[in-house]
Structure formats: structure tokens, C-alpha cells
Chains A and B, each alone.
Chain A
């Protein structure tokens, strides 16, 4: 057996290599970077501490607004601290800045609070969300004079932490995580949605908004058949969107089209995540984390069915491809022709899509791989124009 320190020395180079890895180049198998193919980024198969995972990202916006990460190994800066896998999916809106910021800072904040508590808990995750929000708002305050548009950028934030036989799911926004569970007596795998979404299309979200803002009857408005908070945004929780959090950013020099009419005293959007904790069951096979770009084309059952019925290698890429085939069909064109559409224009056909499939393998069979599977990988590296910030 390796001692803690030896182990850390052994895995350290892996960490560094993945963080500073070259973009988009083809590397030897087992590495911690992905590959790119046009607007698609993928990592067909990798190992995390409790199994394998597969990742894929397709870019639709001119600048990729979806960001994602898988971190596996120590979940705190202490050797004795919690150990497990962290998955983050950040679906930005209005620009890529907030999702990139969260991708770079949320996990280190989580590690900081986990070190303080020497444990993983819902409270640690919540504190990490709120600290990341505060840090981003101070970035907005700093850049406000030079670049006021930063106040109109935000991101949805979905986090999963697999640690000590538990799955923590924290969500602010409308990304989703679905669990595939093999039930006895049922053929195939059943889909269990673990995340709570905050999209105004749900009556419960609209009710929550009305109860939080009893004096504002127009807190949610139906516009072009879509429910939007203040007629602007579909999600009721997010990180960023400073102009909807603090009135000090809801004024000039921010362009009028990004502003809310009328003053407000209470923040309109909330950065606090909905957190749920699930005990891992031996029947639990895999988790599918994805931004809403996937779920607008696939149901939970369809996605779980695909993951159950096809080989692990490249499964995230298969889910993305299936979603794109459906998107092409809706727009009455061939999938092969959809691939000819440039980024930016692509947004009229589908959204940025991020998929992370995490397999939950029984601990005994993967002990050997677990020892060598500390990793840090970020989705979408090497896609065109993603290196601005």
C-alpha cells in the first residue's frame, strides 16, 4: 500500500498535465484531455475514483457558454479529508464569462470549505456556491466601469459529489442529473431524476417566485409562449446575472436592453442551490449530467435507455449525436447538413450541449483503477474561441 504522501506525489503530475494540457491534440489513450472534431469536444472514456466516465460537449453559440468539469480524488486540501468524485456542469447565458469563472473557482472553494469542516456535507456545497457567487460579483464590481456588460452574464450551476457512499446533488438553474437504476423485475433500467430545476416553465417555480415577491404581480410573465422571470430570463436561480441581484448594476452604463424596468429592493434571482442527498444503492448503474440543451430533445427515459443499451466507450458522444439528430429532424434537414452550420448560427438549431455520464461501479472490482484515477478534466477545451478569458 502507498502512504498518503507517496500517493499524492504520484498523482500530482496527472493533475498538472490535465490543467495545462494542449488543446485539441490527439494524445495517448488514458490521458486527461479530450479531443475535438469541429464544434464537438469529447472524452470517450476515463476513470474516476468510483468507476468510469464519458464526456461530450457540442458548441452552438459563437463563444461556448457551457462549461464542465470532472474532478476525482481528494475533495479537500487535506490528505485525511473526504475522497471522491466531483462533477460540475455550468450552462452560461449572456456570454461565457460566468460559466468559465465558476469552472475555475467553484471546486477550489468546495475544497476550502471541505477542509475547514474535514467532511463533505450539503452545507459545504452551499457555502461553495455562495462564495463563488460573491467572488464573481466582486469581479463584476471591478470591471463594471470598463465592461458593464459583465453584469448581464450568468450561469446555471449543477454539481454532483460522490463521496462516502452518498451522492450530493446541488442545482441552481435548469441543468439536470438523472440516475439509471436496474430495478429487480423490471427490464432495462429505470430513470430517476435527482435534480430540482428552477425554470419558470414549472408551476412550482412560478409559485415560489410569487411567494418571494408578493408585491410584484409581474415577477413572471408569459412571453412568446415561454414563462420568463421579469419577462427576461427562464431560470429563477443562477450564479452571476448581477443586474438581477443588485440594483446597483441595474443602471447605466449597462445597456438599456439588459436592464429591468423599475427599481427593486430584493434580489430577483437566487444563487442558492437546491441540494438533495441520495444513498448509493448497488442497483445504481450510472448518472447522466447534462445541460438543458440535451433535455430539450431527449426525455430522461430515452437518455437512460441509450446509456443502458450501448457500449460505455463514447456514450456521452452518442447522447449528443442523438440529440443533434432530433434537432435536425425538427428543423427538417439531414443530420449531415446540420454539421455544416457554423457556430453562432447553430444556436438557431440547438443550444450548447454538455453531457457527462458517470458510471457507478462496485467498489471491489475497481480498487486497482481507483488508486490511479485522481484526475481533473475540463470539458470543451480546444473548441474554437474558447480561450478568451
Chain B
């Protein structure tokens, strides 16, 4: 039930920012000039998206507002350390657990192809130093701040956006 309340609050915070954004930049939401250059429009949209992402990050940092991600609760009874998947993972994605403290991780879905990216490789090396190759809950656990992780995710997404062939994909 708690989870659900958090979910609603998140949307409120995000829509609040959306509202503020509209008030100060009415062009973004209400009307658009016909000869408006798409460049500045996309800058504005990006700005809006950034604020939304930030709001989401703030929400998830505050335990009371935790919502988009599910927290891992390690089951001390399970000998294997295997936690059953909370929700089905869609094709092409995998769940990773991000967080700095033991037992307090955010579950994040990541496109599988991101894992091969060198930036992700740095995170994995960090994980290896911390846990070796045995991840405490079964899922891939990455010891870093969620904001840092989101940052890496955004950078990888930006790097491969629009390009069909991923430049960092090693030829097999």
C-alpha cells in the first residue's frame, strides 16, 4: 500500500514541475509560432525532460517518496541468495540493483545492450571490487548512487541515439 502512495506523490511532483515549466515558458505548452526554429524548441523540451528526471531523482532519494523503483529486501532465509523476480522483465531488458548501502538497492530496468558499453564496464568493475562475481541478491548489484547511475544511463543513451550501428559494439 505504501508503494502505491509513493507512486501517486511522484506524479504530483512531476506534474508540479510541468506546471511551473508551462507558466514560465508558455510557448512550450500552449502555442507555437509557425516559423519557430525546431532547435530552440528541442532545447526547451530537453530542459523540461531534465527537470522531470531531476524530480524523479529527488523522489527516489527520499525514502518516503520512493516509487518508480522497488527496493530489494534480502531474504535472510533463502540459502541460495536468489530473490524471485518482482515483475516480469521485458525482452531486451534486464534488472540491475543500484545503491550504496547493503540491502538498500533500487531495482532499475536497463536495456541489455547498455551492459556492453565501456561506461557500464566501469560500473561493473566497481561491483567486482565490492562483491566479486557473487552478487548478494542474485541480480547484478552495482554499488553507486542512483543519480550517478542515471547519469551513466543517459550518457549511454545519448551516445547511441539516432545511430543504427552502435560504435562501441565489439564485432563478434
Residue positions of A touching B, CB distance < 8 A: 38, 224-226, 329-334, 336-337, 340-342, 345, 347-349, 351, 384
A348 touches B92 (CB 8 A): no
Query: In the complex the two chains form, is A333's CB within 8 Å of B95's CB?
Result: yes
- The 6 A-B pairs at the shortest CB distance, nearest first, are namely A333-B94, A332-B95, A337-B112, A330-B138, A342-B116, A332-B85
Which residues of the partner chain A approach B148 to less than 8 Å between Cβ atoms?
none
Q: Tell me the smallest distance from the CB of B51 to a CB of chain A, in Å.
A: 30
Please pick, from B113, B140, B170, the residue contacting A348 in the complex, using a CB distance under 8 A: B140
- Shortest C-beta distance, A343 to chain B (Å), equals 9
- Can you name 7 extra interface pairs (CB under 8 A) apart from A333-B112, A342-B172? A332-B138, A333-B89, A337-B93, A337-B94, A341-B112, A345-B115, A348-B140
CB-CB < 8 A to B113: which residues of A?
340
A–B pairs, 14, beta carbons within 8 Å: A224-B132, A225-B134, A329-B85, A330-B139, A332-B139, A333-B89, A334-B91, A337-B94, A337-B112, A341-B112, A345-B115, A345-B121, A348-B124, A348-B127
Residues of A within 8 A of B95 (CB): 331-333
Smallest CB gap from B117: residue in A: A345
In the complex, A329 Cα to B120 Cα: how many Å? 21
- In the complex, what residue of chain B is closest to A347 when comparing beta carbons? B133
A115 to chain B, nearest CB (A): 42
| A-B interface contact total, Cβ < 8 Å | 61
Q: Whole-angstrom distance between the alpha carbons of A384 and B120 in the complex?
A: 22
CA distance A224 to B81 in the complex (A): 13
B61 within 8 A of A: no
Q: Are the C-beta atoms of A334 and B116 separated by less than 8 Å?
A: no
Q: Mark B5-31, 1 if CB is under 8 A from A, else 0.
A: 000000000000000000000000000
Say which residue of A224, A332, A347 sits within 8 Å of B94 (CB atoms). Answer: A332
B104 within 8 A of A: no
B50 interfacial by beta-carbon distance below 8 Å: no
Complex CA gap A103/B146 in Å reads: 45
B window 49-108: CB within 8 A of A: 82, 85, 89, 91-95
B92–A226 touching, CB < 8 Å: no
B150 beta carbon closer than 8 Å to chain A: no
With A224-B130, A341-B116 in contact, is A330–B89 under 8 Å at CB? no
A226 touches B127 (CB 8 A): no
Query: Which chain B residues in 105-164 approach chain A with CB under 8 Å?
Result: 112-113, 115-116, 120-121, 124, 127-128, 130-134, 136, 138-140
Would B91 and A336 count as touching, CB distance under 8 A?
yes
In the bound complex, residues from chain A placing their C-beta under 8 Å from that of B82 are: 330
State whether A38 and B128 are in contact (beta carbons under 8 Å apart), knowing that A226-B134, A332-B89, A347-B133 are contacts in the complex: no
CB of B115 within 8 A of CB of A341, answer yes
A207 CB to closest chain B CB, in angstroms? 22
In the bound complex, residues from chain A placing their C-beta under 8 Å from that of B127 are 348
The minimal Cβ–Cβ distance linking A329 to chain B, given in whole angstroms, is: 8
In the assembled complex, which residues on chain B have CB atoms less than 8 Å from the CB atom of A384?
172
The interface residues of chain B lying within 8 Å CB-to-CB of A347 are: 133
Q: Do residues B124 and A345 form an inter-chain contact, with CB atoms below 8 A?
A: yes
Among residues of B, the one whose C-beta sits closest to the C-beta of A342 is: B116
In Å, the complex CA distance between A384 and B170 comes to 12
Which of B115, B127, B131 is the most central at the interface, judged by chain A CB atoms within 10 Å of its CB? Answer: B115
A224 to B131, CA, bound (A): 6
Give complex CA distance A224, B112 in Å.
27
> Which residues of chain A come closer than 8 Å to B93, judged between CB atoms?
333, 337
Q: Please report the C-alpha to C-alpha distance between residue A38 and residue B172 in the assembled complex, in whole angstroms.
A: 7
A331–B139 touching, CB < 8 Å: yes
Q: Which of A38, A226, A329, A342 has the most CB of B within 10 A?
A: A342
